[in-house]
Chain A
Amino acid sequence: AQSVAQPEDQVNVAEGNPLTVKCTYSVSGNPYLFWYVQYPNRGLQFLLKYITGDNLVKGSYGFEAEFNKSQTSFHLKKPSALVSDSALYFCAVRDGSVSARQLTFGSGTQLTVLP
């Protein structure tokens, strides 16, 4: 079975400081990893994904994420946080095998950027 863990329910960071939102995963095959963001009263929006290749992937709104196979992690990062980045962030994983069918989400991390 595949799973995702987001160890922090809440992350607070000052505007202009770097931010990190943590994610670890478990999957039997090759991991396909995704980050989504949810603003209040909205659906989830795709930020970025790792499928293969370069371990550092770049996505929307200046976000990036680093895939670390040995630590089974896929942490979301941004060099300089904005107040408008405040939202709920979800990490998700899909097994890369041909038979994989499910997309599994973590419990979410509420990011608050303080002015």
Chain B
Amino acid sequence: DADVTQTPRNRITKTGKRIMLECSQTKGHDRMYWYRQDPGLGLRLIYYSFDVKDINKGEISDGYSVSRQAQAKFSLSLESAIPNQTALYFCATIHRGLNTEAFFGQGTRLTVV
């Protein structure tokens, strides 16, 4: 089983619909992140969390919300999806130490039509 699991892997949704992307991890890391990837723009940070009571906005949080249900689970919601939220979304986890690398899920490809 993967250390960082994202569901669903692919989703097509209609404009205006609410959708939730889920991330769970078995690495025991306290830090979790949501990024979106767009061609030519790299990965941009949406939200991050250092524990269940510590949620922070990233550089592109508008139109998104998150929930840290437990140390191992971090969900990303689009309350009312719009076409420019079509992207590849990644969840990542990092151990507490500053010098540790991030571990990524396989990604969720979201298309808003």
User: A-side interface residues toward B, CB under 8 Å?
Assistant: 6, 9, 32, 34, 36, 41-46, 49, 51, 90, 92, 94, 96, 98, 100-108
B82-113: which have CB < 8 Å to A? 90, 92, 94, 98-99, 101-107
29 CB-based A-B contacts, threshold 8 Å: A6-B42, A9-B40, A32-B98, A34-B101, A36-B104, A41-B107, A42-B106, A43-B90, A43-B106, A43-B107, A44-B92, A44-B104, A45-B104, A46-B103, A49-B99, A49-B101, A51-B99, A90-B42, A90-B43, A92-B102, A94-B98, A96-B98, A101-B50, A102-B58, A103-B33, A103-B94, A105-B35, A105-B42, A108-B40
Q: Is B52 an interface residue (CB 8 A)?
A: no
User: B-side interface residues toward A, CB under 8 Å?
Assistant: 4, 33, 35, 40-45, 48, 50, 56, 58, 90, 92, 94, 98-99, 101-107
Our pick among A45, A100, A104, A107 for the contact of B41 (Cβ within 8 Å) is A107
Our pick among B4, B40, B48 for the contact of A102 (Cβ within 8 Å) is B48
Shortest Cβ distance from A102 into B: residue: B45
Question: Which residues of A sit under 8 angstroms from B103, Cβ to Cβ?
Answer: 46
Cα(A108)–Cα(B42), bound, Å: 5
From residue B12, how far is it (CB to closest CB) to chain A in Å? 17
The answer to whether A32 and B42 touch across the interface, beta carbons within 8 angstroms, is no
Shortest Cβ distance from B102 into A: residue: A103
A-side interface mostly:
loop
Question: Which residues of A sit under 8 angstroms from B44, Cβ to Cβ?
Answer: 105
Cα(A32)–Cα(B105), bound, Å: 22
Shortest Cβ distance from A34 into B: residue: B101
Cα(A51)–Cα(B98), bound, Å: 9
Cα(A101)–Cα(B57), bound, Å: 11
Question: Which residues of B sit under 8 angstroms from A90, Cβ to Cβ?
Answer: 42-43
The answer to whether B99 and A101 touch across the interface, beta carbons within 8 angstroms, is no
Our pick among A51, A98, A101, A105 for the contact of B43 (Cβ within 8 Å) is A105
Cα(A92)–Cα(B42), bound, Å: 10
Cα(A102)–Cα(B102), bound, Å: 11
Cα(A107)–Cα(B40), bound, Å: 6
The answer to whether B42 and A44 touch across the interface, beta carbons within 8 angstroms, is no
